[in-house]
Amino acid sequence: MSVAEIIREIKAMPKKKRVQVIERICELNDEDIPSSFKEGMADIRAGRVIDLDEALKDLDET
């Protein structure tokens, strides 16, 4: 299976399953993953994110 196929499969998963996959990867390769990525994942789990398209739309309106 190629990397592109793996990424396609992950993207096709429901959000909850994608988060579980990424958390598991973090556990396996903890030393290789930047803390900023881990913090971003924590923000996603806690719901402290906004949709990028909405954020950019708000910028266009100003």
Give residue-wise pLDDT tens across range 18-32: 999 988 887 876 777
Q: For 25, what's the count of Cα atoms within 13 Å in the CB-facing half-sphere?
A: 14
pTM over 0.85: no
Q: According to the model, what pLDDT value does residue 23 have?
A: 84
Q: Where are the domains of the chain?
A: 3-60
Pick the more confident residue, 49 or 26: 49
54-to-37, 57, 59 alpha-carbon distances in Å: 22, 5, 9
Distance in angstroms (rounded) separating the CA atoms of residues 43 and 38: 9
For residues 8 and 18, is the Cβ–Cβ distance under 8 A?
no
Longest dimension (CA), the chain: 46
For residues 21 and 44, is the Cβ–Cβ distance under 8 A?
no
